[in-house]
Amino acid sequence: MRSAKDFFRPLAVGAPAPVREVPFRPSRMIHFFDPGNEKMAAKVPSIAPQVDVLLGNLEDAIQADRKEAARNGLVRIAKATDFGDTQLWTRINSLDSPWALDDLLTLVTEIGDKLDVIMVPKVEGAEDIHYVDRLLAQLEAKAGITRPILVHAILETATGVANVEEIAGASPRMQGISLGPADLAASRRMKTTRVGGGHPGYLVREDPSASDAAAPRATFQQDLWHYTIARMVDACAAHGILPYYGPFGDIRDTLACEDQFRNAFLLGCVGAWSLHPVQIAIAKKVFSPSPADVAWARKVIDAMGDGTGAVMIDGKMQDDATYKQCLVVSELADTLAARDPELAEAYAAAEKE
Ligand code: GLV
Ligand code: MG
């Protein structure tokens, strides 16, 4: 048994006190880069101001014999770069790999003061978060870090999905969860061979025509990820942490990427991963509420006064529940506008219209 009072006690003597609320910082795109790749590393200073989160990836996509180069590269880059108000995250190797422990040891002791969030892949249950939680506290104490490093879990195993609520609430360090559709598909033994997005075989078909059984029947592709995203969003909302869509692997299919990101946004996600610079602009567009939606939300908020009762605006009924939805949109717009002057201008212009 663990007392609720102990939840916010540091897990090591000298470690910083855990946060009581996840800081809501813009994280529309978590931009992945390989820190061991010299060409990518050279672009970090110019990419950093364009993204909300820059993530040095140490896990999948980094070959086994380049793991150390990636880890050391991240240390070098973090020490040499001023990230401004762009967050620096890393994705460490999975906890069942021979590299995870050294990832944590090196990164926290060398650049722990620069790292905002550590993404942990293939999380299966609360025990994985507890393991990382205690290690981080020990390492923070050792390194004299004064601000706790937060933890982000990737939801990418069937067991992880079954335990998503306990993962979301496993530690005050939990910042958020991303859907990892590629590993999740493999873990579930789905029959897809892609990274996220839909599949032409997963569809529903229109009923046959009563008069012509041979007439063509329309089909509609369905969303393979709806259940998991919705479940993840609920788990995150229940625990006050943030949900994200993960990777979309078909870099050339910018249209389907935008659709996948937008579905996630509408269902409650705050961001997605960008695997290529072309996906940065997509995430920025999708995960920033549109100026028209923000103007509408503010109109409703103004008309609702203290938020009680009901009013009609343009033939649409507004009450406490729409007022709260509008607050979500308006508060998100305020947070994003504070970081993004172009967006601030677009929101102000739309309100004047
Ligand atoms: C991400 O890591 C995924 O497996 O989709
Ligand atoms: Mg994965």
The angle that helices 100-111 and 67-80 make with each other, rounded to 10 degrees, is: 10
Instruction: Tell me the pLDDT band of 144, cut-offs 50, 70 and 90.
Output: very high
Cα 37 from Cα 348, distance rounded (Å): 41
pTM comes to: 0.97
CATH 3.20.20.60 residue ranges in the chain? 4-287
Residue 183 alpha carbon to ligand 1 centre in Å: 5
Q: Which atom of ligand 1 is nearest to the CA of 184?
A: 4
CB of 59 within 6 A of ligand 1: the answer is no
Residue 182 alpha carbon to ligand 2 centre in Å: 6
Q: Which atom of ligand 1 is nearest to the CA of 247?
A: 5
Q: Which atom of ligand 1 is nearest to the CA of 186?
A: 4
pLDDT at residue number 137: 98
CB of 182 within 6 A of ligand 1: the answer is yes
Cα 74 from Cα 80, distance rounded (Å): 10
For residues 117 and 147, the answer to whether their CB atoms sit within 8 Å is no
Cα 237 from Cα 260, distance rounded (Å): 20
pLDDT at residue number 231: 98
Per-residue pLDDT tens digits for 48-86 = 999 999 999 999 999 999 999 999 999 999 999 999 999
Cα 203 from Cα 347, distance rounded (Å): 38
Residue 335 alpha carbon to ligand 1 centre in Å: 28
For residues 117 and 56, the answer to whether their CB atoms sit within 8 Å is no
Could you give the C-alpha distances from 273 to 16, 119, 218, 231, 348, in angstroms and in order?
A: 29, 12, 33, 19, 28
Taking 3-state DSSP, the helix, strand and coil percentages for the chain, each rounded to the nearest 5, stand at 45, 15, 40
Q: Output the average pLDDT for the chain.
A: 97
Radius of gyration, CA atoms only, the chain: 22
Per-residue pLDDT tens digits for 166-182 = 999 999 999 999 999 99
Instruction: Quickly tell me which residue has 């996948």 as its tokens.
Output: 260
Q: Which atom of ligand 1 is nearest to the CA of 59?
A: 2
The yes-or-no verdict on residue 4 having pLDDT over 90 is no
Q: Which CATH class is domain 4-287?
A: alpha beta
Around ion ligand 2, which residues have CB less than 5 A away?
Answer: 156, 180, 183
Per-residue pLDDT tens digits for 252-302 = 999 999 999 999 999 999 999 999 999 999 999 999 999 999 999 999 999
Cα 301 from Cα 139, distance rounded (Å): 46
CB of 247 within 6 A of ligand 1: the answer is yes
Nearest CA to ligand 1 atom 3: 180
Instruction: Count other C-beta atoms under 10 Å from residue 200's C-beta.
Output: 7
285: Cβ contacts below 8 Å, ≥ 6 apart? 258
Cα 172 from Cα 187, distance rounded (Å): 28
Residue 152 is classified by DSSP as E
